[in-house]
Amino acid sequence: MIKTATAQACSNIALIKYWGKRDAALNLPTNGSLSLTLDGMTTQTTVHWDAGYEADAVSLNGKALADSELTKMSKFLDLVRNKAGISLKAKVESQNNFPTAAGLASSASGFAALALAASQAAGLELEPRELSILARQGSGSASRSIFGGFAEWKRGETPDGTDSYAEQLMPPEAWPDVRMLVVVLEPRPKPISSRAGMTQTVATSPMYPAWLETVGADLDAARKALFAKDLEALGTVAEANALKMHATMLTTLPTILYWQPTTVALMHRVWELRRDGIPGWFTIDAGPNVKVLTDEAHIEKLANALAAVEGVERVLVCKPGSGAALC
Ligand code: PMV
């Protein structure tokens, strides 16, 4: 049995968002979502299973995890232990090549890389679909990072989650001039995790039923735009879907607002630039950073203009990335 494996996976940004769980333990979503996997925002993870280890040990960027963070990882490793029929403990070493301190979500790339490395090291040869189901149980969005390019995570219907996995809609090389600009703001403490934010929204937002009623049509429109390689149509539905998700958060009790003044300034700037003929459509996740969908021809102008907005710390330019792979 192989006992060591290293894998890497890229982060992804949803253009149609996952917001709300129908099963919290299994990370089953209330709706399907669609994302772009980002080149250059990568997690690399090595897993060793060894009879000599007495407990799981996990480090992220050289720092050992403890308490609830470690418990979460051990629970995830239990899924792999159960599948492989082993009881060994693991040493997990994970590195992000992008600034974690900047508040960029690393759970998608992290759990996708961990799912592949841990299962492979345990002697399992999982199909991409099974890997996606496994990664999903660490973090919902990680189900999509198993795949490169554009991916769709299906809501599924069954209570056990066997039909809730991601699939590739378009490989990265099929639409290579798409770009995602990740605009990183000066770091501030995150008010509430996405997990807690979703739970609260589903429980208390009067707008949540409207989200559920309309997100399926957004997903259809995004898929159609993607297959037509119509960036404007894709950007338009993605921007509207992100704003709709934030509208559900704003109307929870107590209110959740992830935006900072710079977030709003960036939204206005993207609209201004668009009026001036520079195509860009923003999306925002459970944090203040702004991601902008555009194309190669306009990336430089857009990046320079957004970097100049007060409160912006840095901008990262990402191409469509590849799926999780062994190193
Ligand atoms: O997978 P999680 O638990 O990190 O949740 C991700 C939630 C959003 O980023 C806001 C939306 C998404 O689909 O990625």
Residue 184 pLDDT level (bands cut at 50, 70, 90): very high
Q: Is the pTM of this model over 0.85?
A: yes
220 Cβ partners below 8 Å, 6+ apart?
Answer: none
Ligand 1 in contact with 298 (CB < 6 A)?
no
Residue 208 has pLDDT above 80, yes or no: yes
Question: 143-162 b/e with 16+ CB inside 10 Å = b?
Answer: bbbbbbbbbbbbbbeeeebe
pLDDT at residue 98, rounded to an integer: 81
Q: Are 91 and 70 in contact (CB under 8 A)?
A: no
What are the structural domains, with CATH classification, of the chain? 4-172 (3.30.230.10), 178-318 (3.30.70.890)
* Range with the poorest average pLDDT among 8-17, 96-105, 182-191: 96-105
Mean pLDDT of 312-326: 96
Ligand 1 in contact with 18 (CB < 6 A)?
yes
Q: Are 103 and 190 in contact (CB under 8 A)?
A: yes
* Range with the poorest average pLDDT among 62-76, 185-199, 232-246: 185-199
Q: What is the mean pLDDT of the chain?
A: 95
Tell me the per-residue pLDDT of 62-117, one tens digit each, with 9 for 90 and over.
999 999 999 999 999 999 999 999 999 999 999 999 866 555 768 999 999 999 99
pLDDT at residue 103, rounded to an integer: 58
* Range with the poorest average pLDDT among 45-59, 126-140, 176-190: 176-190
pLDDT at residue 142, rounded to an integer: 98
Distance CA(305)–CA(235), nearest Å, equals 19
Residue 191 pLDDT level (bands cut at 50, 70, 90): confident
- Of 100, 141, 246, 248, the residue with max ligand 1 atoms within 8 A of its CB, to mutate for a pocket test, comes to 141
Q: Are 37 and 128 in contact (CB under 8 A)?
A: no
Mean pLDDT of 39-64: 96
Q: Are 294 and 179 in contact (CB under 8 A)?
A: yes
Q: Are 109 and 43 in contact (CB under 8 A)?
A: yes
Give distance in angstroms: CA of 19 to centre of ligand 1: 7
- Nearest ligand 1 atom to the CA of 105 is 4
- Of 11, 12, 19, the residue with max ligand 1 atoms within 8 A of its CB, to mutate for a pocket test, comes to 19
Mean pLDDT of 175-192: 89
pLDDT at residue 186, rounded to an integer: 78
276 Cβ partners below 8 Å, 6+ apart?
Answer: none
Ligand 1 in contact with 105 (CB < 6 A)?
yes
Ligand 1 in contact with 107 (CB < 6 A)?
yes
pLDDT at residue 100, rounded to an integer: 62
Mean pLDDT of 24-35: 97
Ligand 1 in contact with 33 (CB < 6 A)?
yes
- Largest interatomic CA distance in the chain: 63
- Rounded (10°) CA dihedral 254, 256, 260, 265: -110
